[in-house]
Amino acid sequence: MLPAITVWMTLGLLVTLLPLSAVALVLMAGYGVFYGILETGGIARPTPPGSRWQVPAKWVRGVSRRRRFVVWGSLLGPGFATRNPYAGFWILPLAVAAVDDPGYGVLLAAAIGAAHSTGRTLGLLHEVKDVDVNSYLQSTLKSMYWRVADGFALLVAAGAAAMTYAYRL
Amino acid sequence: MSEARALLAAGAIALGLGAGWALSGRIETVAIAAVLIAAGNGYSKAYSP
């Protein structure tokens, strides 16, 4: 969790130092509506932006526990370097960039990092506990439900971003 | 998209607009939505095939 928060805080500091707030709100609204409609409508393409990169085995095999902890925590915890089938993830950096104040931006980025890594940990623990013969099929079905939920969340965020932008005009 | 889902989608946008309006366009509306999406995204990634 700590490496994830650190990565997010660094991103928060970098993006809030630039005057991106208004652009980020517009992009949030557009991105949220576009992928929100696709995900709630069960439309598979275009796929959300993301990485297909995997952590190379040699980075985590035969190395110390501390190094494994840093590699997994900093690459998988923040969510940037792993495959993510839900479009919701990439609205998060936009939300951070939408903040005017760098201090508040870093705080929001830390909260996002903490929420994402905690959710990831709880999800993995829950999935490991529930694993059985049909787990792959169940997992795919749950993933479809989550995709729809992600779509609705994107639409809410898009509405919020649009109204925030409107107040600034 | 089914009619029910289209209505729910429109309701979701209206909910976001309403929340933004209720908080007078403050950035906290976007921040709260982002933190909730982050938590859900992290959790749901465990179910990605």
- Provide ipTM, 2 decimals: 0.94
Question: In this predicted structure, what is the pLDDT of residue A131?
Answer: 58
Mutate to test the interface with A, among B13, B23, B36 (most CBs of A within 10 A): B13
Asked if B49 lies within 8 A of A136 by C-beta distance, the reply is: yes
CB pair distance less than 8 Å for A42 and B1: yes
Spatial CB neighbours of A83, under 8 Å, sequence gap ≥ 6: A50, A51, A52, A53, A54, B48
Distance from CA of B5 to the nearest CA of A (A): 7
Domain that holds residue A124: 2-168
In chain A, what is the greatest distance between 2 CA atoms, to the nearest angstrom?
Answer: 56
- What pLDDT, on the 0 to 100 scale, is given for residue A52? 65
pLDDT of residue A70: 74
**Nearest CA among A23, A156, A168, A37 for reference residue B29:** A156
Tell me the shortest Cα–Cα distance from B8 to chain A, in angstroms: 8
Radius of gyration of chain A (CA): 17
Give which of A159, A119, A1, A139 is closest to B37, Cα–Cα.
A119
CA-based nearest residue in chain B for residue A107: B31
Query: Which whole-number Å values give the CA distances from A96 to A9, A105, A106, A146, in the listed order?
Result: 10, 6, 8, 23
Are A77 and A55 within 8 A, CB to CB?
no
Question: Is the CB of A149 less than 8 angstroms away from the CB of B40?
Answer: yes
Whole-number Å distance between alpha carbons of A68 and A164: 41
A98 touches A19 (CB < 8 A): no
Q: Which residues in chain A have their CB less than 8 angstroms from residue B5's CB?
A: 40-41
Which of A95, A117, A158 is opposite residue B31, by nearest beta carbon?
A95
How many angstroms separate the CA atoms of A156 and A94, rounded?
Answer: 15
What is the length of chain A? 169
A63: distance to nearest CA of chain B, Å? 25
Q: Spell out the per-residue pLDDT of chain A, length 169, in tens.
A: 777 888 888 888 898 888 889 999 999 999 999 999 999 988 878 777 766 666 667 776 777 777 777 777 777 667 777 777 888 999 999 999 999 999 999 999 999 999 998 888 888 787 666 656 567 777 777 888 889 999 999 999 999 999 999 998 8
Q: What is the mean pLDDT of residues B14-30?
A: 94
Residues 42-71 of A with CB under 8 A from B: 42
Chain A residues with CB-CB distance to B43 below 8 A = 119-120, 122-123, 126
Give me the number of domains chain A comprises: 1
**Torsion, CA A68, CA A74, CA A75, CA A76, rounded to 10:** 80
Which of A124, A159, A163 has the CB atom closest to B46's CB atom?
A: A124
